[in-house]
Amino acid sequence: MVIYSNVYVTRMIVCSGNERESWSESTVKMANRRNFTFAYGCNKTLESPLVQGRRKSVKCSRSPFYLTSKIRKSEDISNESCKLMFNRPVTLQVCYASKSEDANQRMTSQEVFFKNLDALHRFIRPYTLMGTVIAITSVSLLPLQNLDDLTPTYFMGFFKAMVPGLLMTVYEVNKPNLPLTSGDLSMRTGIAIASSSLLMSLAMGIMLRSPPFLLALIIWFLLSSAYSADLPFLRWKRSSFLTTLYIVLERGLLLQFAYFIHIQKYVLGRQIAITRTLMFAVAIKCCFCFVISLLKDIPDEDGDREFGIQTPSVILGKESVLWLCVYVLLISYGAVIIVGLTSSPYLLSKLVMAGTVDLSSKASTLSFYMFIWKLHFVQYLVLPFVRL
| 23 beta partners | 11, 72
Q: What pLDDT does 206 receive?
A: 92
Q: What pLDDT does 383 receive?
A: 61
Q: What pLDDT does 84 receive?
A: 45
User: pLDDT-derived band of residue 203, with 50, 70 and 90 as boundaries?
Assistant: very high
Name which residue leads in pLDDT, 292 or 40: 292
User: pLDDT-derived band of residue 218, with 50, 70 and 90 as boundaries?
Assistant: very high
User: pLDDT-derived band of residue 16, with 50, 70 and 90 as boundaries?
Assistant: very low
Mean confidence (pLDDT) of the chain: 69
Looking at residues 175-204, what average pLDDT do you find? 74
Looking at residues 94-99, what average pLDDT do you find? 46
**Using H for helix, E for strand and C for coil, what is the string for the chain?**
CCCECCEEEEEEEECCCCCCCEEEEEEECCCCCEEEEEEECEEEEECCHHHCCCCCEEEECCEEEEECCCCEECCCCCCCCCEEEEEEEECCCECCCCHHHHHHHCCCHHHHHHHHHHHHHHHCCHHHHHHHHHHHHHHHHCCCCCHHHCCHHHHHHHHHHHHHHHHHHHHHHCCCCCCCCCCCCCHHHHHHHHHHHHHHHHHHHHHCCCHHHHHHHHHHHHHHHHHHCCCCCCCHHHCHHHHHHHHHHHHHHHHHHHHHHHHHHHHCCCCCCCCHHHHHHHHHHHHHHHHHHHHCCCCCHHHHHHCCCCCHHHHHCHHHHHHHHHHHHHHHHHHHHHHHHHCCCCCHHHCCHHHHCCCCCHHHHHHHHHHHHHHHHHHHHHHHHCCC
Using CB atoms within 10 Å of the CB of residue 257, give its burial: 0 to 12 exposed, 13 to 18 middle, 19+ buried.
middle
Rounded (10°) angle between helices 152-173 and 187-207: 150
Q: Tell me: the pLDDT tens digits for 255-289?
A: 889 999 999 999 998 888 888 888 888 888 888 88
User: pLDDT-derived band of residue 42, with 50, 70 and 90 as boundaries?
Assistant: very low
Q: Tell me: the pLDDT tens digits for 319-349?
A: 788 888 888 888 888 887 777 776 655 555 5
Total-model pTM:
0.58
% residues pLDDT > 70 (the chain): 59
User: Among residues 217, 288, 209, which one has the least CA distance to residue 257?
Assistant: 217
Q: What pLDDT does 251 receive?
A: 85
Q: What pLDDT does 200 receive?
A: 92
The Cα 371–Cα 353 span in angstroms is 9
